[in-house]
Every structure is written in C-alpha cells, then in structure tokens.
Amino acid sequence: MQWLRKLSNEHRGTDLYRNISLLCIVGHGGMGKTTLLQHVYEDEMTKEFDLKMWVCVSNNFDVKKVIADMLESLKKKRPRLETLEALQDSLRIEIMSKKILFVLDDVWENDEEQDKKKWEKLLAPLAHGKISSSILVTTRMDSVALTIAKVIKKKKETFQLQGLEEDQCLQLLNSHAFADVENPNNYKRLKSIAREVVKKLSGSPLAAKVIGGVLNSSLDERHWTKVLNSDFVSPRLGRGDIFLILRLSYMFLPKYLQNCFAFCSIFRQDYWFDKDDLVKMWIALGFIQQPHDQEWTMEDIGGRYFDILVKKSFFDKFQDGRYYKMHDLIHELAQSVSIHECLRVEDSTNLPSIIPKTLRHLSVQTTNPDIIKKIGQFKYLHSLFLFHEASNQDINALIEIFKTWRSLCLLYIHASARLKMIPEEIGNLIHLRYLKIDGDYDLTMLPSSLSNLYHLEYIIYAERLGALSQPNIYDFLPSNFNNLSNLRYMKFRHNYISLICGIGKLKSLQELNMFDLRDVSGYRIGELENMNDLCKLGINCLENVKDAEEACSAKLCAKKRLTDLTLRWSNTDSRNIDLDENVLDNLQPPKCLRNLRIVRYMGARSAIWRNNVNPIFNLERIDLYECLECETLPPFGQLPFLKSLELYRMPKVKWRESKFNGNDKYYAFPLLEVLRIRRLKALEDWFEAGVAAEDGCLFPCLIELELFVCPKLKELPFLPPKLKILWMDNTKWKTFNFCSNSNPIPLELLKVFDCPNITSLPLADEIARLAALRDLRIIKCPNLNSLGRYREVETTNNCHLMLSCLFISDPSVLLMEPLRSIASLKELYIKNNDELVSFPNEAEQWFLNVRSLSELKFRYLASLQSLPSSLESLSSLQNLDINDVPMLRELPNLPPSLKSLSISPECHPELYERYREDGGSDRHKIAHIPHIYLYSSRII
C-alpha cells in the first residue's frame, strides 16, 4: 500500500508504458500471496482508482481469455467478441484516461520468449491508462516479474513473501486445530505437540490451516502424535514441503471424503464451486453414504461432507459464501491423487497419448469433432463433461457415443448456439443420474427418449437469458416425462414444470417451486398427495381449487421435509371469500415449515392453523402480499424462531392480535431481525386496544425496520435496541424515541421520507451514542425544524456525528446541529425539491467548512437556478452530478480536484451551449476536468 501511494510522486518518462507501474508478489505456493492482495484490493485507499480489475491467470496463459476476463471484471458481463483485436479495442475504450488498478493472480511462465509476446498483446491496451495506474502480480516464479518488466521497460520490483513467523504460524494452526473447542487451554499436552508440528511447516499459512484441520478431527493425543511423526519432511529441501503436507491431510480423510475430493480435479483451476450442485454430482456418482436416519436426505449428508472439507480448508468461501474455490495447491493435490481416474483436456486438438484404462471421469474442451469420436472408446466412464462448439452436422459423434455407452452416470454438455437438439440416442444411457445442459444455444425440445432414463435424479437445463427464439413450451418436455419416478430435482428457466401432466408420479421430487393448478385432470392439487419428499413447494392459481375437500387432498401436513411453502392466488378479482378461507384452512403445512409466503389471499380472516402457535411453531420467515380483505394479523409475536416478517398491501388491517387461542402470555417477537410493513394504510397500532409490550420493549433483536405508506400507524414506544436500519416513508409520526438506557445505539442507516408531521429527530440529543450512524436520508419532511438539542459539551468530548453519506431535499437541514458541524461527510445528495430556487447564504458558508466531501449530486430540483458559489472550496470533491435541474443556466467555478462532471439531458439548453466541447463560451472553465458527461455523451 505504501508502494501504491508513492506512485503519484514518481518521475515519468515518455515511453509507451510511462503511466503504468508494476509490482510482483513472489512466494512459494500457500504463502498467502493472493490473500495479501485481496486485503489491498478491498482497502478504502483503492477507491482513488477509477477502475479495478482482478483476473486469475493460472498455468494456461491465453491472451484472449485474460482480456475477456478483464472486461467481465469491469462490466460484470462476458463480452461476445471473437477476435483478439476486438477485445483489445473494447478494453482500450474502457480504460482510456482512467487510473486503473489491475491484479493478475497466480501467473506462471512456460516459455519466456513466447510469454513475452503474449504479454505485449495483453498489456498494449493498458498503455492508455492514466498516470499512476498500477499492475499487481502474484506468482511463484521470479522470472515472471522480469519478463513483464522487460515488456513495459521498467525496473523489476518484487515483494518476497517468506512465510509466517513461528508464533504466528502456531496461532493460525491452533485456531483451526481447536475450532469449536470451548476451552483450548485444557489441552496443554496437545498444544505442546502443536508447537512441534509447526516447526515442520516452514511458516506456510496454507499448511497451518490444512494440518490444523487434520488435527481437529480428533482431540486425541495418539492422533496428534501420529500426525507429528508422519513423514512429511522433504529430504531434498531439508524443510517442510507444502505438497507433502497437503498429501498427508488427504491421507487422513476417510475413504468417502477422499472420493468426493479427488473427483473435484475434473474442474479447472480457480473454478467457482456451487455447493448444492457439487453435492448433486456426488450423489449421482454414488459417493454419498445412505442416511440411517429418515429425517436426513442424501443432500443433507452430502452437504455435511462438503462442510467438513471446508472446515479442513480443502475449499475456501468465496463471494460471501455463495461460491467456493480451491487453492491452486489443493487443486494440484486433487489432480495428483486422481491421476488414474480423472482426466481434463482443455483447448486441445489431440488427446494424451497414454490414457489409463481405469479412467472414470473425463472433461473435454475442444472445437475438434474428431476428439468427440475418439472419446467413444472410453465405454466405462462414469462422468463426462463436454465443452464443445457442436453443430447439428457433427452431432453424429455424440450419437455413436450414446449408442454404445452404458455406465455413464453424469453428463454435462456445454455447447454453442448452433446446437438445436440433443440426440434421441441419449435414451441408451440407462444408468444416467445427472444431466445438465447449458451454453449459448436454444434447444427446441428435449428428446422423448429422456423419459426412458428411469434412474435419472437430476436434470438441469440452464438456457441463456434473452434467447433469440423461444421454444414452443407445450412441446419442449416429452409427453411422458412423469415416468422419471426417481427424479429428485429439476430446473428449467421457464415454467415447463407446470406443463407436466400427472406430476404426482414424481414422488421423489424435492423442489416444486411453481406448480400452476388447472381444473383439468392431471393438473389438480391432488397431484401433491404422495409427493412427501418435497422440501420447497410453490402452488399457483389456487382459485382453481373447487372446495375444501379438494384442498385437503394435497396433504401438506404429511410432508415432513417441507421447509418452504408459497401459496398464491393469481389475481385479486372478486372471488368467493368463504371458499378462499376454507381452502386456506385445509392447506395446513407441517410443523417443520420454516418459510411461508401467502399471496393474494382474499379471505377476511386468518386461517385456523395460523391462530394456533403449534402448527407453525418453527417458522422463521413470513411474507403476506396483497391480502386485500384481511382485517387483522395473527399474533406472530409469539413465534419463537421468527426472524423476518414482510407485509405488503393489506389495506384493511388495523392491528395485530396479541394472543394465540386464549393464551394470554405475551411475547414481543423474541428473535425477529427484519420487519417490513408496506402499504398497510389502515394500520393504527402495533396491537389491539389496551395491549402494551411486556417490559416496554418491542422487537429485542430487530436489525431492520421498514415502514412504507402506513399513514395511521402510531409511534413505537422506543426504537428497538439492536436496530441498524430504519426506513420511515409516509407515516404520521411526529418524532421517535431511542432506547431509554445508556447503551450505544447501533443505527447505521436512517431514512425518513415523505413524513409531513415529523418536527424533530433526536440526533443531537443522542450524538454520544450514535457512533455507528453513517448514512442519513431526510427527504420531503417540510415541518422538520430540529435535529435535537445540541450541547457544547459534546464537542469538547469529541462527540461528533460521523456520517459518510447524506441525502436531503431541504438545504436548511444543513444548518441544524449536529449537521452544521459535520466534518466526516463523503457524499451529499440534494434532491426532490420543486421549490428551491437558490441556496441561502448560511448554506453557502456550510460548503466552505466541509473539506471531506468527495461526491456531490443535485437531482430533481425543478426550480433551482444557481448552485452554491462556495463549491470551488471543496478541495476533496471528485464527482459532481447534475440531473434534472431544468432551470440551471450556469455553473459556479469548480474545484481543481474534480475528476468527473455529469450533466443530464433534462437540464436547461443554455447550460449545454455554454459548456459544450465544440465552441461553448464557458468550456474553458471546466476544461481541467478529465471526464465530462454532457447530454449523456462523454466528452474528454
């Protein structure tokens, strides 16, 4: 980070790459190179860069792929460009005159001369970046730094990672070895063994994590001693060899986990693993042991396997746990232990000359149809991943494979847009259990022979968004699709599932998210009767249920694994209210239900089962949408595990009841974290008349509260003690009270919109407790005249509001303490005011005192004729945005720090004429700004 800071002071030459600096982080595998740069990349300091890109290169250095990855990192979508020149041009346009931070992670060098030519092609567009642009590289090879330095004609700069100090390494190992242990200090003998183990790890953080996971599997001294005495010291190096250490961790896995882990080598390095999808593959390949407990599914067991591998550091969480990745050394380990069973062929025109007869898993990426023909000889494959630019002309190779293979359990096809059909011969793959088809193509239908694959458990068709042609949805699935009685999961982008006649035959299905009911045989709600393995269920068009008896036939209460249920009527047109009530009464879910959503129910009362805590005891989330006739809300406050409650457009509800079936003990939502109430226009109180919260405390765990268009709702007695986000929109509240105790108030975001009755917000009164508040938004509150009572003593005690972001519609709010003295503000938005003509003098003075402001936006100000002249004093201002300010004709002098000026088309025509690039009379006043967007056109 010090290196990044000093770049702006460096002397620059006149060569092509004068604006770019390079630093290479060099170290053995597992030393933490990538982790180090992740911390730098996410640091607040890097916000000074206009653009940031992160690309993993790995062993296969392909220039087109790396540039495509760079563009995807910038634009969040994959470019559809074919040629290298087109990709280079697109990247050049994106980064033109911008200060960029580019991270190239895990770079290898194969052939110095060949790689030098590739680097020249890759780095050419980066020459157009702004001064102080930076490239950070992680590599195991010092020669990589030298090669890139030669290309950009710079002195080689490297930062060598040597590993952790022994005490740090021990601390890291212990954190994994004693994970979930209540008091590690009780294991003094094990801690002594851990210190001896660390001496063999050469300071490698990856080794410490992985061996810590091995030790954690048993807190038994013999086990720890066995690990210590294992032969994982490399005699060649005379110190801990990371790869041998990792192999040791594999050897200590039970056989079933070894199988699951080794199979993962079939995926490329840096692959983003989806936990649920990988578990499905493991199940299809027979890697998952049958559960002994009927409460557990195969997916549950597979999920536990995966979690164990994560805990043992074979996978790392990525993107907030949505995906997982393998460290490149872990991936190499998977390849080494699966070398006789797994083969991955990438971008090749030929297969390897020697292929083991024991090969069971094959991944092929090729454009050569002859390769497809050759893989037909591997008749005992259990899984095939085929990435192929296939067309209907060379599909014959696939046909021949499907004709002769019998042992295939898993088939994944990723093909091009030219593929319009999957051959009927797929029906010969009688042991197929997992089928996934995706890519840039539009299949017109699935083959009818698919219905013969009785063992099929998972089918996923992920056709691309925005398909050029939509298939005829009624012909897409085979007519006898319901023959697949072992099917556990199916996923289609369109709602093809509702077209399956007699879907009730799919008794093993676990998810049925959209089942559209029809008053036709084979499509009625009774189809659900024997589908008792369902975990997720969504029932649409409930108006087509004829009576309570038919609703009973779904037997929802018997589905002992059902955790997610959506009950949806398709419209809010006039319906039989009694029928709706009777239908809902007889759709009682099982006690295991966690998430319930009810949409467009037109009954006036709650279902009978919703007025008793026992049937819905375990609910964690409830959403009620557009239930227009409901008059009261059930006493959800007594649900002990409820974490989220969302209510939308229920115009007749006046209050919520406080009692379940005569139980007069009152609970105030003991675990509720999120409460959103939107468009409940008649809601008057939190409870019926005469009932108050026990101990005066509602919502003890609430984190997020949103109240939108609830004009009659009474104020809360006190804000919940853990609240972080509060959004009030169109309420009649005059003020609100924080908790009465002296604890810090955790509020981080406060939004007050369209509240004409509110006169004060007690921010100044509680400034010492509001240290967490970072984002404040006050829009259209015309009678607000106070932000609390500001005391001088607070300033002497260094109590200031530490806001980063402020939205206001009335500039006079800036003159109220504590905003008048604010010094931390980064972003200010002034918007949604049709009466403001100019800023008062005191507001002008306010801008002179705010030195930290970096972003300023004026939006939807119909009458504003001038901006504050004091903007010129904003020495940290970088971005100024003026949007829909139609009466503004002239800009004040703008500060030299400004990097971007944006003026929307809705502004006054004279403003454009003054500042346009070609002949504008005042263009010279903004010429110092690097990026100017005028009339939605970028002018540089």
Contact present, 157 and 23 (Cβ < 8 Å): yes
Q: Identity (one letter) of the amino acid at 812? A: S
pLDDT score of 630 more than 80: yes
CA angle 297, 302, 305 (to 5 degrees): 135
Residue 383's nearest CA partner among 399, 365, 361 is 361
Give residue 939's pLDDT: 39
What is the structure's pLDDT at 237? 36
Cβ–Cβ under 8 Å, residues 496 and 466: no
In the predicted structure, residue 294 carries a pLDDT above the cut 60: yes
Beta-carbon contacts of residue 806 (< 8 Å; ≥ 6 apart): 775, 776, 777, 819, 822, 825, 827, 828, 829
Does 373 or 650 have the greater pLDDT score? 650
Sign of the dihedral through C-alpha 768, 769, 774, 778 = negative
Q: Coil, strand or helix: which one is 387?
A: strand
**Rounded to 10 degrees, what is the CA torsion of 133, 139, 141, 142?**
30
- The percent of the chain in helix, strand and coil, each rounded to the nearest 5, is 30, 20, 50
Q: Tell me how long the chain is.
A: 940
What gap in Å lies between CA 283 and CA 395, rounded to an integer?
29
Residue 349: per-residue pLDDT? 63
Q: Write down the pLDDT at residue 240.
A: 42
pLDDT: which is higher, 682 or 17: 682
Give every CB contact of residue 366 below 8 A, 6+ residues apart in sequence: 345, 347, 348, 349, 372, 387, 388
Of the given ranges (135-144, 172-181, 713-722), which has the lowest mean pLDDT? Answer: 713-722
**Angle (nearest 5°) at CA 179 between 173 and 181:** 125
Q: Percent of the chain, pLDDT > 70? A: 90
From CA 533, how far away is CA 560, in angstroms rounded? 8
Residue 565's nearest CA partner among 593, 523, 545 is 593
287-to-253, 278, 325, 436, 490 alpha-carbon distances in Å: 14, 11, 20, 19, 20
More confident residue, 362 or 18: 362
The one-letter amino acid code at 485 reads S
Task: Determine the pLDDT at residue 419.
Answer: 65
Question: Which of the pair, 421 or 797, is modelled with greater confidence?
Answer: 421
CB 762 within 8 A of CB 734: no
Q: Please report which helix (H) or strand (E) contains residue 365, including its range.
A: strand 361-366
Pairing of strands 621-625, 595-599: parallel
Q: Between 376 and 703, name the one with better pLDDT.
A: 703
- Across all residues in the chain, what is the average pLDDT? 86
pLDDT band at 793 (very low <50, low <70, confident <90, very high): very low
Confidence tier at 417 by pLDDT (50, 70, 90):
low
Question: Is 633 in contact with 657 (CB distance < 8 Å)?
Answer: yes
Q: Per-residue pLDDT tens for 546-573?
A: 999 999 999 999 999 999 999 999 987 7
Banded model confidence at residue 348, pLDDT cuts 50, 70, 90: low
Q: How confident is the model at residue 475 (pLDDT cuts 50, 70, 90)?
A: confident
Nearest to 473 by CA among 442, 505, 495: 495
| Phi, psi (degrees; rounded to nearest 5) at 304 | -65, -40
Give the model's pLDDT for residue 796.
46
User: Among all chains, which residue has been given the structure tokens 């919109």?
Assistant: 753
Burial of 520 (0-12, 13-18, 19+ CB in 10 A): exposed
Three-class secondary structure of residue 577 per DSSP: helix
Helix (H) or strand (E) holding 827: strand 827-831
Q: How confident is the model at residue 554, as a pLDDT?
A: 96
**DSSP string spanning 134-151?**
EEEEEES-HHHHHHHHHH
Per-residue pLDDT tens digits for 225-282:
999 988 764 434 333 467 888 888 999 999 999 999 999 999 998 899 999 999 999 9
Task: Collapse the DSSP code of 88 into the 3-class scheme (helix H, G, I; strand E, B; otherwise coil) and give the result.
Answer: helix
pLDDT(528) > 90: yes
> What band does 154 get if pLDDT is binned at 50, 70 and 90?
confident
Q: For residue 542, which of 585, 491, 499, 505 has the smallest C-alpha distance?
A: 585
Long-range contact pairs involving 218-224 (C-beta distance under 8 Å, separation at least 24): 219/181, 219/187, 219/190, 221/189, 221/190, 221/193, 224/190, 224/193, 224/194, 224/197
pLDDT tens-digit series, residues 83-129:
888 888 888 888 887 889 999 998 887 667 777 888 888 888 888 88
Q: Which residues pair with 321 in a beta bridge?
A: none
CB 510 within 8 Å of CB 536: yes
Q: What is the pTM of this model?
A: 0.83
Of residues 132 and 135, more confidently modeled: 135
What pLDDT, in 10s, does the model give residues 163-185?
A: 899 999 999 999 999 998 888 88
pLDDT attached to residue 728: 94
CA distances for 494 relative to 461, 467, 514, 772, angstroms? 10, 11, 10, 44
Q: Which residue, chain included where needed, has tokens 């009932």?
A: 691
- For residues 664-673, average pLDDT: 76
The backbone region for 342, taken as left when phi is positive above 0, alpha when psi lies in -120 to 50, beta otherwise, is beta
Is residue 817 within 8 A of residue 823, CB to CB? The reply is no
Which pLDDT belongs to residue 12? 53
pLDDT at 540 over 50: yes
Q: How many CA atoms lie within 13 A of 858 on its CB side?
A: 29
Angle, in degrees to the nearest 10, between helices 275-284 and 298-311: 120
Assess whether pLDDT exceeds 60 at residue 465. Answer: no
* Rounded distance between C-alpha atoms, residue 223 and residue 216, angstroms: 10
pLDDT grade for 526, boundaries at 50, 70 and 90: very high
